[in-house]
Amino acid sequence: MENVWKGLPFVIFGVGGQAKEIKVLIDDINQSNKTPVYEIIGFVSNSQDDVGLEIEGIKVVSTNDNFPEFSKKYKLLGATIALANPKWKEQIVNSVFSKTDNIVFPNLIHPYAHVSTNANNELGIGNIICAGVTITTNIKLGKFIILNYNSTVGHDVVIEDYCTINPLSAISGNIKLSKGSLVGAGSSIREKLTVGEYSTVGLGSTVVKNVDDNKIVIGKAAENLEYKRRV
Protein backbone atom coordinates (compact mmCIF):
# COMPACT_ATOMS: atom_id res chain seq x y z
CA MET A 1 0.00 0.00 0.00
CA GLU A 2 1.45 3.34 -1.05
CA ASN A 3 1.34 6.40 1.19
CA VAL A 4 1.39 10.13 0.45
CA TRP A 5 4.45 10.65 2.64
CA LYS A 6 7.95 9.88 1.38
CA GLY A 7 10.43 9.88 4.25
CA LEU A 8 8.56 12.37 6.43
CA PRO A 9 10.73 13.31 9.46
CA PHE A 10 8.92 11.85 12.43
CA VAL A 11 9.02 11.90 16.25
CA ILE A 12 7.41 9.63 18.82
CA PHE A 13 6.16 11.15 22.06
CA GLY A 14 6.87 8.71 24.88
CA VAL A 15 9.83 6.62 25.96
CA GLY A 16 8.18 3.55 27.51
CA GLY A 17 7.06 0.20 26.22
CA GLN A 18 4.26 1.67 24.12
CA ALA A 19 6.76 3.93 22.37
CA LYS A 20 8.99 0.95 21.55
CA GLU A 21 6.03 -0.88 20.03
CA ILE A 22 5.04 2.11 17.93
CA LYS A 23 8.60 2.38 16.64
CA VAL A 24 8.26 -1.22 15.43
CA LEU A 25 4.86 -0.42 13.90
CA ILE A 26 6.40 2.43 11.91
CA ASP A 27 9.25 0.15 10.80
CA ASP A 28 6.65 -2.32 9.54
CA ILE A 29 4.81 0.42 7.63
CA ASN A 30 8.08 1.48 6.00
CA GLN A 31 8.94 -2.07 5.02
CA SER A 32 5.52 -2.58 3.41
CA ASN A 33 6.03 0.35 1.04
CA LYS A 34 8.35 0.69 -1.94
CA THR A 35 10.06 3.67 -0.28
CA PRO A 36 10.10 4.53 3.44
CA VAL A 37 7.08 6.55 4.50
CA TYR A 38 8.52 7.96 7.74
CA GLU A 39 12.03 8.74 8.95
CA ILE A 40 12.09 8.44 12.73
CA ILE A 41 14.43 11.16 13.99
CA GLY A 42 13.84 10.64 17.69
CA PHE A 43 11.71 10.19 20.76
CA VAL A 44 10.32 13.01 22.90
CA SER A 45 10.21 12.66 26.69
CA ASN A 46 8.65 14.53 29.57
CA SER A 47 12.01 14.45 31.39
CA GLN A 48 15.21 16.31 30.58
CA ASP A 49 17.14 13.39 32.10
CA ASP A 50 16.08 11.19 29.17
CA VAL A 51 17.46 13.47 26.44
CA GLY A 52 20.38 11.78 24.68
CA LEU A 53 19.41 8.27 25.73
CA GLU A 54 18.89 5.65 23.02
CA ILE A 55 15.73 3.56 22.69
CA GLU A 56 15.74 0.82 20.07
CA GLY A 57 18.71 2.57 18.44
CA ILE A 58 16.93 5.96 18.25
CA LYS A 59 17.83 8.89 20.51
CA VAL A 60 15.58 10.94 22.75
CA VAL A 61 15.96 14.33 21.05
CA SER A 62 13.75 16.68 23.05
CA THR A 63 11.53 17.21 26.04
CA ASN A 64 7.86 18.08 25.74
CA ASP A 65 8.58 21.62 26.95
CA ASN A 66 11.40 22.19 24.45
CA PHE A 67 9.66 20.54 21.51
CA PRO A 68 8.11 23.70 19.96
CA GLU A 69 11.62 25.15 19.63
CA PHE A 70 13.10 21.84 18.45
CA SER A 71 10.45 21.51 15.75
CA LYS A 72 11.52 24.78 14.11
CA LYS A 73 14.42 22.89 12.52
CA TYR A 74 11.91 21.26 10.16
CA LYS A 75 9.58 22.68 7.55
CA LEU A 76 7.22 19.79 8.21
CA LEU A 77 7.43 17.20 10.98
CA GLY A 78 5.26 14.19 11.72
CA ALA A 79 4.39 13.15 15.27
CA THR A 80 2.49 10.54 17.22
CA ILE A 81 1.72 10.12 20.91
CA ALA A 82 2.72 6.65 22.13
CA LEU A 83 1.17 6.92 25.57
CA ALA A 84 -1.72 4.82 26.85
CA ASN A 85 -2.94 7.33 29.45
CA PRO A 86 -5.68 9.42 27.77
CA LYS A 87 -5.14 12.46 29.98
CA TRP A 88 -1.42 12.53 29.18
CA LYS A 89 -2.24 12.47 25.48
CA GLU A 90 -4.67 15.32 25.85
CA GLN A 91 -2.17 17.32 27.91
CA ILE A 92 0.48 17.03 25.19
CA VAL A 93 -1.97 18.16 22.51
CA ASN A 94 -3.07 21.17 24.54
CA SER A 95 0.28 22.25 25.97
CA VAL A 96 2.76 21.29 23.22
CA PHE A 97 1.10 21.00 19.82
CA SER A 98 -0.88 24.19 20.35
CA LYS A 99 2.46 26.04 20.17
CA THR A 100 3.48 24.62 16.78
CA ASP A 101 2.21 25.10 13.23
CA ASN A 102 4.39 22.70 11.24
CA ILE A 103 3.36 19.36 12.77
CA VAL A 104 1.22 16.74 11.04
CA PHE A 105 -0.37 13.73 12.70
CA PRO A 106 -0.75 10.79 10.30
CA ASN A 107 -2.91 7.84 11.22
CA LEU A 108 -0.49 4.96 11.78
CA ILE A 109 -2.19 1.81 10.51
CA HIS A 110 -0.24 -1.42 10.65
CA PRO A 111 -0.17 -3.37 7.37
CA TYR A 112 -1.75 -6.33 9.17
CA ALA A 113 -4.66 -4.35 10.59
CA HIS A 114 -8.00 -4.74 8.81
CA VAL A 115 -9.68 -1.38 8.31
CA SER A 116 -12.49 -1.51 5.78
CA THR A 117 -11.93 1.27 3.26
CA ASN A 118 -15.37 1.14 1.61
CA ALA A 119 -17.50 0.86 4.73
CA ASN A 120 -18.31 4.50 5.61
CA ASN A 121 -15.64 4.68 8.29
CA GLU A 122 -14.34 8.06 9.50
CA LEU A 123 -10.89 8.53 11.04
CA GLY A 124 -9.58 11.66 12.70
CA ILE A 125 -5.88 12.46 13.08
CA GLY A 126 -3.04 10.94 15.07
CA ASN A 127 -4.65 7.54 15.58
CA ILE A 128 -2.59 4.36 16.09
CA ILE A 129 -4.06 1.09 14.81
CA CYS A 130 -1.87 -1.90 15.63
CA ALA A 131 -1.41 -5.31 14.02
CA GLY A 132 -4.40 -7.63 14.20
CA VAL A 133 -6.97 -4.90 14.81
CA THR A 134 -10.27 -5.27 12.96
CA ILE A 135 -12.49 -2.28 12.23
CA THR A 136 -15.73 -3.15 10.46
CA THR A 137 -18.30 -0.66 9.17
CA ASN A 138 -19.66 2.80 9.99
CA ILE A 139 -16.98 3.43 12.62
CA LYS A 140 -16.20 6.98 13.72
CA LEU A 141 -12.80 7.53 15.31
CA GLY A 142 -11.81 10.84 16.85
CA LYS A 143 -8.18 11.86 17.27
CA PHE A 144 -5.16 10.42 19.10
CA ILE A 145 -6.78 7.05 19.76
CA ILE A 146 -4.80 3.85 20.30
CA LEU A 147 -6.33 0.57 19.12
CA ASN A 148 -3.88 -1.98 20.42
CA TYR A 149 -2.98 -5.46 19.17
CA ASN A 150 -5.80 -7.82 18.14
CA SER A 151 -8.66 -5.67 19.39
CA THR A 152 -11.93 -5.63 17.45
CA VAL A 153 -14.39 -2.82 16.81
CA GLY A 154 -17.90 -3.74 15.70
CA HIS A 155 -20.35 -1.86 13.50
CA ASP A 156 -21.66 1.66 14.22
CA VAL A 157 -19.17 2.40 17.00
CA VAL A 158 -18.07 5.90 18.03
CA ILE A 159 -14.70 6.26 19.74
CA GLU A 160 -13.99 9.79 20.87
CA ASP A 161 -10.68 11.65 21.27
CA TYR A 162 -7.77 10.27 23.32
CA CYS A 163 -9.30 6.85 24.04
CA THR A 164 -7.08 3.80 24.46
CA ILE A 165 -8.28 0.28 23.72
CA ASN A 166 -5.76 -2.26 24.94
CA PRO A 167 -4.91 -5.66 23.36
CA LEU A 168 -7.49 -8.39 22.79
CA SER A 169 -10.45 -6.17 23.66
CA ALA A 170 -13.81 -6.67 21.97
CA ILE A 171 -15.94 -3.58 21.32
CA SER A 172 -19.40 -4.71 20.18
CA GLY A 173 -21.71 -2.86 17.81
CA ASN A 174 -23.44 0.47 18.51
CA ILE A 175 -21.12 1.40 21.37
CA LYS A 176 -19.89 4.86 22.30
CA LEU A 177 -16.53 5.21 24.02
CA SER A 178 -16.56 8.76 25.28
CA LYS A 179 -13.62 11.13 25.34
CA GLY A 180 -10.62 9.92 27.32
CA SER A 181 -11.94 6.47 28.19
CA LEU A 182 -9.60 3.49 28.53
CA VAL A 183 -10.42 -0.18 27.98
CA GLY A 184 -8.13 -2.68 29.67
CA ALA A 185 -6.62 -5.66 27.88
CA GLY A 186 -8.91 -8.62 27.28
CA SER A 187 -12.11 -6.72 28.05
CA SER A 188 -15.49 -7.06 26.34
CA ILE A 189 -18.25 -4.48 26.06
CA ARG A 190 -21.82 -5.48 25.23
CA GLU A 191 -23.58 -3.84 22.31
CA LYS A 192 -25.50 -0.52 22.55
CA LEU A 193 -23.67 0.77 25.63
CA THR A 194 -21.84 3.99 26.48
CA VAL A 195 -18.61 4.28 28.45
CA GLY A 196 -18.42 7.73 30.01
CA GLU A 197 -15.68 10.32 29.69
CA TYR A 198 -12.35 9.53 31.36
CA SER A 199 -13.63 6.22 32.67
CA THR A 200 -11.59 3.02 32.84
CA VAL A 201 -12.69 -0.53 32.13
CA GLY A 202 -10.32 -2.73 34.10
CA LEU A 203 -8.24 -5.61 32.77
CA GLY A 204 -10.34 -8.57 31.61
CA SER A 205 -13.69 -7.00 32.44
CA THR A 206 -17.09 -7.67 30.87
CA VAL A 207 -19.23 -4.54 30.61
CA VAL A 208 -22.98 -5.21 30.50
CA LYS A 209 -24.38 -1.77 31.41
CA ASN A 210 -23.54 1.87 30.78
CA VAL A 211 -20.56 3.36 32.60
CA ASP A 212 -20.84 6.92 33.96
CA ASP A 213 -18.15 9.56 33.54
CA ASN A 214 -14.96 9.33 35.62
CA LYS A 215 -15.55 5.80 36.86
CA ILE A 216 -13.41 2.68 37.20
CA VAL A 217 -15.24 -0.58 36.58
CA ILE A 218 -13.78 -4.05 36.86
CA GLY A 219 -14.76 -7.71 36.89
CA LYS A 220 -17.09 -10.12 35.10
CA ALA A 221 -20.03 -7.76 35.43
CA ALA A 222 -17.79 -4.66 35.46
CA GLU A 223 -18.84 -3.51 38.90
CA ASN A 224 -18.06 0.02 40.02
CA LEU A 225 -14.73 -0.16 41.86
CA GLU A 226 -15.63 2.71 44.17
CA TYR A 227 -18.74 0.82 45.31
CA LYS A 228 -16.73 -2.32 46.01
CA ARG A 229 -14.31 -0.33 48.17
CA ARG A 230 -17.12 1.04 50.33
CA VAL A 231 -18.36 -2.43 51.26
* pLDDT, greater one: 205 or 223: 205
Q: Are strands 216-218 and 223-224 parallel, antiparallel or unpaired?
A: antiparallel
The correct CATH number of 8-106 out of 3.50.50.60, 3.20.20.140, 3.40.50.720, 3.40.630.30 is 3.40.50.720
Q: Say which residues have a Cβ less than 8 Å from residue 61's Cβ, sequence separation at least 6.
A: 11, 41, 42, 43, 44, 51, 70
Ranges of each domain in the chain: 8-106, 113-231
Active site (annotated) includes residue 155: yes
pLDDT in tens, 50-83: 999 999 999 999 999 999 999 999 999 999 999 9
H helices within 47-143, ranges in order? Answer: 67-70, 86-95
Torsion of CA 113, 127, 216, 87, to 10 degrees: 160
pTM, rounded to two decimals: 0.93
Can you give the pLDDT at residue 22?
98
The yes-or-no verdict on residue 116 having pLDDT over 50 is yes
CA distances from 53 to 134, 171, 177, 188 (A): 35, 38, 36, 38
Q: HSE, CB side, 13 Å, CA atoms: give it for residue 205.
A: 24
Which is the catalytic residue, given 155, 176, 179, 190? 155
H helices within the chain, ranges in order? Answer: 17-31, 67-70, 86-95, 225-230
pLDDT in tens, 210-230: 999 999 999 876 666 554 434
The yes-or-no verdict on residue 3 having pLDDT over 80 is no
Answer yes or no: CATH 2.160.10.10 is held by domain 113-231: yes
Out of 4-8, 112-116, 177-181, 226-230, pick the least confident.
226-230
